[in-house]
Amino acid sequence: MVTLTADGAEVGSAYTDSTGAFTAPVEFTRIEAGPHTVVADCGVRLTGTVDQVVTRSSGGQTSTLVILVFFVLAGIAVIRFP
């Protein structure tokens, strides 16, 4: 059994195969941009660094902006070409 921790919090776990290799998803409980040291403890402590990147989601704002620009341009066209 391998336990993965970062900043003192458990972020994942896995079982090793017959060669001692393992893969595991890492799930942080807090979203904090920057590098985080992940420690894999299975009797032997292994460390690695993960860069957590925070991006902004545009969601529905993009379509709202397109509609707003359309109406502004349509208004300008109506005023310039009566």
Label each residue of 35-72 as H, E or C.
EEEEEEECCCEEEEEEEECCCCCCCCHHHHHHHHHHHH
Q: Which residue has the tokens 């032997």?
A: 44
How far is 53 from 38, CA to CA, in rounded Å?
A: 15
pTM over 0.85: no
Domain that holds residue 28: 2-80
What's the domain count of the chain?
1
Beta carbons of 35 and 50 less than 8 angstroms apart: yes
Q: What is the pLDDT along the chain (82 residues), one digit of tens a residue?
A: 999 999 889 998 989 888 888 888 888 888 888 888 899 998 888 888 888 887 766 555 555 666 666 666 666 666 665 5
Which amino acid would we find at residue 8?
A: G
Distances (CA, A) of 41 to 14, 16, 20: 10, 11, 12
